[in-house]
Structures are given as C-alpha cells and as structure tokens.
Structure 1
Amino acid sequence: MILKIPNVLTSDELEYVTSRLAQAEFVDGKLTAGWHAKLVKNNQQLKHGTPEVQTLREFVEKAIRRNPLFQAAVRPKVLHSLLFSRYDVGMSYGSHTDNALMGDAAFLRSDVSFTLFLTAPSAYDGGELVLEGADDERAYKLETGAMIVYPSTTLHRVDPVTKGTRLVVVGWVQSLVRDVGEREILFDLDVVRRAIFAKEGKTPEFDLISKSVANLLRRWVD
C-alpha cells in the first residue's frame, strides 16, 4: 500500500528541523548505501555520530509516531535508520530496492519505507521520488511536512535535481504485521470502524469489526 500523509510536521517543527540542517555538516551519501546502491547513489546525508543527529532523529521520530494515519497504515514496531538527505543540482539516486535488513548488528527488517519532505516543491526542479511498477511509474513531490510511505520491496529512484535543493528525511519501519496485504486489510477495516463510530457511535456493527481487527492482529502480529 502506498499512502500520502499530510502535515506530519507542523510549520514550527519544520522551521526547527530545517534551521538545524542549515548549520549541519553533510557527507557523501554513499557511506550508507549497499554495495550495489553505491553505483547509483549521488546525494549527501547528515553526518552520523553527533549529538545533533540523534536529537533530530528523536524529534522527527516522535512527530511521525504521533500521527494516527501512520499508526493505522504501518503498524510500526521499530522505526530505524533515519537519514537526513540533501540533493543539490545534478544529484540523484538511481533505481534500487532498499536493503531487507538494516541497523548494522541489530538486523532490523525493512517492511515499510518512508520519505518526509522538508523542502517546498516550488523551491526545486526535478528530484521526484519515482516508484517503479511492472507496467507504470508514479512520481511524487509532496508539500513540506508531508510524507509518503510505501512497501520496502518497491523498486524506486530519485530523479536528478535540476534547480535548487531537495531536503528530505528517509527511514524504514519494521512493522508488527510483516505482510503488506495483511496490513492493508487491517487499515481498511480500521477506516470503516472509525467511520461507523463517528457517524453512529458504538453500535453492534462497530463491535463486530473491532472484534475482527483484534483477532486478525492476534493472528498476524510478528
């Protein structure tokens, strides 16, 4: 399931993150790429190993986790490997699939990938995130503070930036529910039961769907 989530960060939170990034040190993005992704990765990333990086990661992760749409769609167990990426003119990231296991020795699974946009789409040309399907492609360039989540199994790329600078946060999730189809079923049921509750309150129909959601979670949670 591919989902666009608006307003993950507020305007004040965006200002805080981007002002910190404006003063931070960026390094070659190839340092965090797999051996084959290094061949097509041309961007910069916030330097690891500093208190500033950890503070920003915790700040952004807290904002993502509080989002109810993210919680319902992704069922996060662990958010991990957050990267603050910068693309200047001429930079891009060619077609690749994200590593299945990340986090060095932690061996955290990547079930869901996300990109959180920090730069307004009018501030740069190019730089679209392109998700590649078997017979089509879908390009995404979202407003500031918005995020796209998609299965980590997806082949994708970032097209070259031709003007301006593209700033994003990328990261991965090990979900409580490993299978993308099962996560979508749970999401659909949750949307329906919340709609019933908003319209009619706690009805027998709401209770039955809630029972099904709970029982499916018992069956599918990894």
Structure 2
Amino acid sequence: MLTVIEHLLDAGEVASLRRELETAQWVDGAQSAGTRSVAVKQNRQVDRDCPKGRALSDTILRKLGACPQFVSASLAEKIWPPVFNCYQDGGHYGTHVDSALMRDNVRGFTLRSDLSATIFLSDPASYEGGELVIEQEFGAQAVKLAAGDMVLYPSSSLHQVTPVTSGQRLCAILWLQSAVPDTAERTLLYDLDQSIQNLAAARDATDPDVDRLIHVYHNLVRRWAQV
C-alpha cells in the first residue's frame, strides 16, 4: 500500500525546518549506505550526531504522533528517527531496497523496517527531477509531492530517487516497524478504520453499527498485532 498524507507540516513549519537545516552539519550520504547501495547513492544528509538534526527529528516525530492518518496507516511500534537529506547537481539514489533490519549500536536500538516514508520539504516547482519511483505489483509509480506532504510505502519495495538536474530537493526520510507487519492485513485495517471514522462523523455518538465496526476493528488488530 502506498499512502499519501497531505499537509503533515504546514508552510510555516516547512519554512522553519529549512532555515534550521541551513546551519546543520551535513555529510556525504554514502556514509550510511550498504555495501551495494553505496555505488548508486549520491546525496548529502545531516549527520546523525548533529544536535540540530536530532532536535528537528524530534519535531517531526511529535507531528507524526499527532497525525491520525499516520497512526492509522502505520500502526507504528518503533520509528527510526527521521534523517534529512539533500539532492542537487545531479544527485540521485539508484534502485535499491531498504535494509530489513536496522540497528543503532550506539543507542542499542534495533528495528525491522516494515514501512518507509519520505516527507518532502521543497516546493516541487523549485527543482527538476528528484522523483521517488516506487515499484509496485502493477508497475512503478513516480511520487513528487508538495512541501509538507508525506508518502508512506512498504520498505520491501524496490525504489529510487531520480537525478535532480536543477534546484535542490530537501526531504526527511524515516523507517518504522509496525505492530501489524503483514502489508495486506495492515491495508485492510487502514481501510476499515478510515471507513469507521467517516461513518462516525455522520452518525450519532451512540450508533450501534459504528460500535460493532469498532469492535471488529480492534479484534482484528488483536488477532494480527505482534508486540
């Protein structure tokens, strides 16, 4: 499932992040690439030990926790702190798949990557190229969203970032471990939860049909969740 979450960050929040990133500590993105991915990765990213980068990551984590659509679509159990990256002057990331297990030996943190996410921080009209191309069952889909929007997709997908031929593409990327690791089950839960929310908004607070659907939703989560 590929899910777009619009307006995760508003225009003011995007502008503030971009200003702060100007004085962050940037390093070669190849430092965090795997042995095979390093050959196809050309970008810069904020050093993971940069205090400003950590503070900005925490800001985004708070926004995610307060976003009902993200919570519903991800059922996140663990989240790898967001990483900020920059593509320009032909920068790109060739076709790759994200690591299944991600471990931070310094912090003693291990995560199984079920879902990956990209939060766009640049106006799409300000740069050429830089599409996030995700290969799915029925073909590849190119994603280039408005600043402040996020796309969420299975980490098991082959994907790439096409070369940025002009301008600058700033993004935040993150990975998460879901309480429901199976993509098909998680998709059914998301569709059911979205329908419940839409029905609940149009019906009385004590509507028995809505209550029954909520009952079904939580029992399915109870059946499929791995915590």
Quick check: TM above 0.5? Answer: yes
Alignment map for 1:121-160 (pairs within 5 Å): 121-133=124-136, 136-160=139-163
Measure, in 1, the Cα distance between the counterparts of 2:75 and 2:141.
24
- Is the 8 Å Cα contact of residues 57 and 81 (structure 2) preserved in structure 1? no
- Is the 8 Å Cα contact of residues 92 and 158 (structure 1) preserved in structure 2? yes
- Is the 8 Å Cα contact of residues 121 and 143 (structure 1) preserved in structure 2? yes
> Residue 167 of structure 1 corresponds to which residue in structure 2?
170
Q: Which runs of 4+ in 1 moved over 4 A?
A: none
- Is the 8 Å Cα contact of residues 24 and 50 (structure 2) preserved in structure 1? no
1:164 deviation in Å? 0.3
Identity percentage of aligned residues: 37
**Structure 1 gap ranges (5+):** none
Measure, in 2, the Cα distance between the counterparts of 1:64 and 1:200.
28
Q: Is 1:212 paired with 2:201?
A: no
> Residue 2 of structure 1 corresponds to which residue in structure 2?
2
> Residue 182 of structure 1 corresponds to which residue in structure 2?
185
> Residue 58 of structure 2 corresponds to which residue in structure 1?
58
Measure, in 2, the Cα distance between the counterparts of 1:89 and 1:172.
26
What's the TM-score once normalised by structure 2's chain length? 0.94
1:27 partner SS:
strand
> Residue 97 of structure 2 corresponds to which residue in structure 1?
97
> Residue 47 of structure 2 corresponds to which residue in structure 1?
47
Measure, in 2, the Cα distance between the counterparts of 1:11 and 1:134.
34
Measure, in 2, the Cα distance between the counterparts of 1:89 and 1:164.
8
1:79 deviation in Å? 1.1
2:15 partner SS:
helix
- Is the 8 Å Cα contact of residues 84 and 168 (structure 1) preserved in structure 2? yes
1:95 partner SS:
strand
- Is the 8 Å Cα contact of residues 80 and 103 (structure 1) preserved in structure 2? no
1:25 deviation in Å? 2.4
> Residue 82 of structure 1 corresponds to which residue in structure 2?
82
- Is the 8 Å Cα contact of residues 21 and 53 (structure 2) preserved in structure 1? no
Deviations 1:29-65 (A, max 9, x none): 0111111111111110012212112111101111122
- Is the 8 Å Cα contact of residues 134 and 160 (structure 2) preserved in structure 1? yes
What's the TM-score once normalised by structure 1's chain length? 0.96
Alignment RMSD (CA, Å): 1.2
Measure, in 2, the Cα distance between the counterparts of 1:213 and 1:45.
39
Measure, in 2, the Cα distance between the counterparts of 1:194 and 1:135.
29
Q: Which segment drifts farther, 19-28 or 156-165? A: 19-28
- Is the 8 Å Cα contact of residues 102 and 110 (structure 1) preserved in structure 2? yes
Q: Which segment drifts farther, 181-190 or 134-143? A: 134-143
**Residue 210 of structure 1 aligns to which amino acid in structure 2?**
I
